[in-house]
Amino acid sequence: MEPTPVTEVDMECRGRVVRVLLKRESHHPTGSVKDRTARGLLVSLDRTRALTPGTVVVESTSGNLGLGLARLLRRMDCRLIAVVDPRAPEATVEALRSMGAELCLVDEPDHHGGYLLSRLQKVRQLCLDNPGYRWTDQYNNPANPAIHRATTGPELFRGAPTAPDAVYVAVSTGGTLAGVAGHVRSVDRGIRIVAVDAEGSRSVDEHGGGERLIPGIGSSRRSAFLHPGSYDSVVKVGAAATVAMCRYIRQSTGLCLGGSSGAVVHAVLADQTGPGAPRRPLALCADGGEKYERTIYDDGWLERYGLADQVADRIDGYRAEGVVFSLPAESGEHHRGSDMHIRPPGRLPYGAPMQSRDDARAVVRRIWSEELFVEHVELYDDFFDLGGDSLTAVRVAFRVQEEFGLDVPVETLFMAPTVAEFIGALSSLKSTEHTEPFRSSGEAAR
Ligand SMILES: Cc1ncc(COP(=O)(O)O)c(C=O)c1O
C-alpha cells in the first residue's frame, strides 16, 4: 500500500492564515480510505479460513468499502455481494457492477432514518440462508481499526517537516478514527483528535436520528470501536454545511473533495474560532468528489433536497467572514512516508554509491519488510558487482510472499546506483510490482 499524498492549503479566516494539511485518501486504487479497510478485513478473513476461488463475501457498504473489496476479491476469483442503499452514489454503483460485484439494494430505511440497520438485517439473512457466505463485518471486526493503526496513523508523521497538532477524521464505523487515534495517542498525547460526525448520526452518541444525505459519514448506531478516550472533541456537521464547504473549496482551489472531507474541513474551520486553535491541523480526506458530481456538486440535487438556499447562505457567510482557501505557491503536494523515511543501512550517506552487497541486501529487506502484507522475503538469487570498490551494477532477484499466499517475483538490474537511487528505485518497484500487484502475480501463481 503506497502512502497517500498530503496537499497543503492556506485557510484564511478573519485575517488569520492557517496552513491545513489535507491527507488525500482518494489516491488509493479505488479512490478512498476504504481500500485500506478492505485489505485489513480480507487478510483477517483469510487468516481465519483461506479465501479460495469461488468464496462468496458479503458486506454492507455505503459504497467505498464495496469498491475496495470488489477489486481485491476479483483478483482472487472470489465473489462479492455488496448490500447497498439508495444513497450510494450512482457512479459508485456503476463501478461496483463493472468490477463484478453483485448488488443487493435495501431501500427500507431503519427506524433512525438511515439504512444501516436494514442493510445489516439483509446481510444476516443472506448469511443464514447461505451458510458458506463469509461476512467481513466492518462494524465489529477488530481488523478494521487495526489496519488504520498500522498504516494510516504512522503516515501522518512521516516525511513532513512539522507534525500536525490536531487530526480531524470523519466517522461512520469509527474504524479509521479508532485506528488513527490508537497510533496518535501512542506518539504524542498532546495532539488533538477530533471526531467529525454527521448531524443526525449516532456514531459517537445515542442522541442522533433523522435523515442523513451524505454517504460515508455517520451511522444509525454507535461505533463499536470508539470510546471517549479515542477523541478530544466531536463536531457534528449538517448536510448544507458539508456541501457548502465542498463547493467553496472547489471554487477557490480547484480541489474536488468528497462529502465527508467537506465536513472535516468545516470542522477544522469551526475550531479556528475557539481558544487554543490548532496551528497545524490535518484533515483526513477519505475520498474525492468525482463520484459526487450528480449529488453534492449538482444544483438540481440541492434543489430536490431543499438545500440550495442554505448552501448559498453558507457560502455568502464565508465571504462575509473573509474565509479564503488558497494553494500556497511554494509547497503544494508532497508524499509523506515515501522513501524519505527509509534510513540507509550502516549510516551511509544518501548520495554515496552502494558499497557492498550487505548494504544492498539490507536495503531490500528493510523496504520490503515495512510492507505490512508481506509475509516473507526470500532472496533466491543474489547481487553481483562488476568490480571496483563500489557496486557498479546490482542485480536484485527475489520472491516476495504476499498476503493470500501469492508470490511476487521481482527481478531487476540497477547500474551504479547511489544509496538514494537504490532506495528510490526499489520503492517505486515495490509500488508497481508489489502493491499494484495482484493481477499479474496472482495469475502467475495460480
Ligand atoms: C467517504 C467516507 N468518509 C468517511 C468514512 C468513515 O470511515 P469509518 O467507517 O472508518 O468510520 C467512510 C466510510 O465508509 C467513507 O466512505
Q: Whose CA is nearest to atom 12 of ligand 1?
A: 216
How far, in Å, CA of 396 to CA of 436, rounded?
A: 19
Residue-level pLDDT at 381: 37
CA 181 to ligand 1 centroid distance, Å: 15
pLDDT of 339 > 70? The answer is no
| Half-sphere exposure (Cβ direction) of 376: Cα atoms closer than 13 Å | 9
Q: What is the pLDDT of residues 340-387, one digit of tens each?
A: 334 455 555 666 666 666 676 677 766 665 554 554 454 433 444 434
pTM: 0.78
Distances (CA, A) of 170 to 53, 116, 267: 35, 17, 10
For ligand 1, residues with CB inside 6 Å are 32, 34, 62, 64-65, 170-177, 216-217, 258, 260, 286-287
Q: Which of 30, 38, 9 is nearest to 291 (CA)?
A: 30
CA 287 to ligand 1 centroid distance, Å: 9
302's CB contacts (< 8 A; 6+ apart) are 243, 308, 311
Q: Whose CA is nearest to atom 15 of ligand 1?
A: 216
Q: Whose CA is nearest to atom 2 of ligand 1?
A: 216
CA 170 to ligand 1 centroid distance, Å: 6
Mean pLDDT of 211-226: 92
Range with lowest mean pLDDT among 94-108, 171-185, 209-223, 270-284: 209-223
Q: Whose CA is nearest to atom 14 of ligand 1?
A: 216
% pLDDT > 70, the chain: 74
Q: What is the pLDDT of residues 106-124, one digit of tens each?
A: 999 888 777 999 999 999 9
Q: Whose CA is nearest to atom 13 of ligand 1?
A: 216
Residue-level pLDDT at 307: 97
Q: Contact at 8 Å (CB) between 18 and 24?
A: no
76: confidence class by pLDDT, cuts 50, 70, 90: confident
How far, in Å, CA of 407 to CA of 254, rounded?
A: 41
Q: Which of 419, 370, 353, 367 is nearest to 398 (CA)?
A: 367
pLDDT of 333 > 60? The answer is no
Q: What is the pLDDT of residues 129-172, one digit of tens each?
A: 999 999 999 999 999 999 999 999 999 987 566 789 999 999 99
Domains and CATH numbers, the chain: 5-25+144-335 (3.40.50.1100), 34-135 (3.40.50.1100), 339-445 (no CATH)
Residue-level pLDDT at 135: 98
CA 342 to ligand 1 centroid distance, Å: 30
CA 400 to ligand 1 centroid distance, Å: 31
Q: Return the ligand 1 atom nearest residue 170 CA.
A: 4
CA 128 to ligand 1 centroid distance, Å: 27
337: confidence class by pLDDT, cuts 50, 70, 90: very low
Mean pLDDT of 4-21: 92
Q: Contact at 8 Å (CB) between 404 and 375?
A: no
Residue-level pLDDT at 212: 87
79: confidence class by pLDDT, cuts 50, 70, 90: very high
pLDDT of 390 > 70? The answer is no
Ligand 1 binding pocket mutation candidate from 119, 152, 217, 235 (most atoms within 8 A of CB): 217
- At residue 135, the 3 state secondary structure works out as strand
Ligand 1 binding pocket mutation candidate from 32, 34, 203, 261 (most atoms within 8 A of CB): 34
